[in-house]
Amino acid sequence: MAPLLSLWFGCLIKGEGEWCNGFTLFGVLPKIMLFRRGSNRVMECWPKKKIKILVLSLLVLFMVDTYVAAQAENKTKGSEPIVIASLDSESVPLGDMVWLTLKYRLPEGARLPEKPQIKGIEGLTIIDRVIEGDHIKIRFLADQLGAWKSGPISLTYVDKDGNERTMSAGPVSLTVLSNLGEKPEEARLRPIQDIIPIEPKWLKYLPWAAPLAGLLFAIAALAWWYRKRRSRDILPEVFDPPHIRARKEIDRLVAQGLYEEGKVKEFYFIFSEILRRYMEEIRHFPAAEYTTEEIAHHIRNNEEDGKILPLLRQADLVKFADTVPTPSRKDDDIQRALSYIQDTVSVVEGDHADLEARENAR
């Protein structure tokens, strides 16, 4: 700003009693200020409007110069690393948690390392450490009675050139109070509450509980007896033995006339399922989920069950190879299935007898 002021006030002095020209900031148009050396009289020939503009211009220049200087000072200060340490409380009871906060400002281009080193807190029992934005929070346990004061706390960082630097903060202090009061040496330990004799609360309900328990036992015994008797009566009526159920299913399949309607594949699919379910019930293995070859492997030592394998393979040819058996072959397959069911009735009756024996044993 000084050069600008010199530009306006600069003048050429030729000698005593001679005139001096002043120059405006808005160009080279001279305006004459008449004065004489040794005289207090000043004659101003500028218009008032021009004077106001000049004064405002000088004021703006002064403000701009002040702002630029302040920004330069802040930039200089911002380039210095700063760390400030503080605690969230000045005094806590013994055993409480305390947060230590390190608020820092790094120079331009600097950064914290992945695991910054913090010195001066080596004696603390640190529980947790969190780095968030421009501060680091450390939670520690107040486990030492009395006044505690740390030493200078330092924090490492890496400058823009990759060199490790250190910035330091002043010490922090904390007072850890005893849970026994202000004078723990005079405190007397005693139980929180006197021993209170107690007795089971359920004893007063015992006279009512015994008859209620007897009543519940009688109801449970009656329900068990009724269920056992009803199961004996319903089981023979509702649940047919496997051989009778298989014959009924084959009769219903034939009565539907699927083969005669040209639905050969659907007929043999249902026919195969009936035989597989029957074999599963009497032989106790998942024949309905097995392939024909898996069934053949499972019953390889049973000649009686081997008689039904040709029927299952014939059904597979119809289902997967689009084979169409003749009507006579279809009738022959049905007769062979009924014969197999008849030959295995003894197995079914044996299982049924075992089931009745188990029911009676209950």
Shared domain for 356 and 275, answered yes or no, is yes
Shared domain for 146 and 249, answered yes or no, is no
Shared domain for 325 and 356, answered yes or no, is yes
Shared domain for 354 and 249, answered yes or no, is yes
CATH of the domain at 152: 2.60.40.740
Residue 12 has pLDDT above 50, yes or no: no
Asked, for residue 167, whether it belongs to a domain, the answer is yes
- In this prediction, residue 254 carries a pLDDT of 92
- In this prediction, residue 18 carries a pLDDT of 39
Shared domain for 279 and 323, answered yes or no, is yes
Shared domain for 9 and 36, answered yes or no, is yes
Name the domain boundary from 159, 177, 195: 177
Residue 343 binned pLDDT confidence (cut-offs 50, 70, 90): confident
Shared domain for 258 and 342, answered yes or no, is yes
Residue 193 binned pLDDT confidence (cut-offs 50, 70, 90): low
H helices, E strands: number in the chain: 10, 13
Asked, for residue 200, whether it belongs to a domain, the answer is no
195's tokens? 């021993």
As a whole number, mean pLDDT of residues 188-197 equals 62
163's tokens? 């060199």
As a whole number, mean pLDDT of residues 11-37 equals 39
> CB–CB of 25/57 below 8 Å?
yes
Report how far residue 312's alpha carbon sits from residue 233's, in angstroms, rounded to the nearest whole number.
Answer: 37
Shared domain for 246 and 355, answered yes or no, is yes
- In this prediction, residue 144 carries a pLDDT of 80
Asked, for residue 140, whether it belongs to a domain, the answer is yes
Shared domain for 55 and 147, answered yes or no, is no
> CB–CB of 125/141 below 8 Å?
yes
State the Rg of the chain over Cα: 54
- In this prediction, residue 56 carries a pLDDT of 79
Report how far residue 281's alpha carbon sits from residue 287's, in angstroms, rounded to the nearest whole number.
Answer: 9
Give the total number of structural domains in the chain: 3
Share of the chain above pLDDT 70, in %: 69
> CB–CB of 298/290 below 8 Å?
yes
Of 257, 255, 297, 289, give the one whose Cα is nearest residue 272.
289
Output the pTM of the full model: 0.35
Contacts for 110-116: CB closer than 8 Å, 24+ residues apart: 110/81, 110/157, 110/158, 110/159, 110/160, 110/165, 111/157, 111/158, 112/155, 112/156, 112/157, 112/158, 113/156, 113/157, 113/158, 113/164, 116/155, 116/156, 116/157
Shared domain for 34 and 102, answered yes or no, is no
- In this prediction, residue 195 carries a pLDDT of 63
Asked, for residue 332, whether it belongs to a domain, the answer is yes
- Domain containing residue 43: 2-65
Asked, for residue 313, whether it belongs to a domain, the answer is yes
As a whole number, mean pLDDT of residues 201-214 equals 77
Q: Among the listed ranges 159-163, 174-178, 205-209, 246-250, which one has the minimum average pLDDT value? A: 205-209
Residue 116 binned pLDDT confidence (cut-offs 50, 70, 90): confident
Asked, for residue 299, whether it belongs to a domain, the answer is yes
Shared domain for 266 and 301, answered yes or no, is yes
Asked, for residue 113, whether it belongs to a domain, the answer is yes
Residue 15 has pLDDT above 60, yes or no: no
The arrangement of strands across the sheet holding 91-93 comes to: 91-93, 173-177, 146-149
What pLDDT digit, counting tens, does each position of 51-82 carry? 778 777 788 887 877 776 666 555 544 568 88
Residue 26 has pLDDT above 50, yes or no: no
Name the domain boundary from 138, 158, 177: 177
Asked, for residue 182, whether it belongs to a domain, the answer is no
Residue 273 has pLDDT above 90, yes or no: yes
Query: What are the DSSP calls for 240-300, one per residue?
Result: --HHHHHHHHHHHHHHHTTTTTT-HHHHHHHHHHHHHHHHHHHH-S-TTTS-HHHHHHHTT
Residue 96 has pLDDT above 90, yes or no: no
- In this prediction, residue 51 carries a pLDDT of 73
Shared domain for 34 and 103, answered yes or no, is no
Of 12, 10, 42, give the one whose Cα is nearest residue 24.
10
As a whole number, mean pLDDT of residues 45-53 equals 63
Higher pLDDT, 254 or 31: 254
Mean pLDDT of the chain: 76
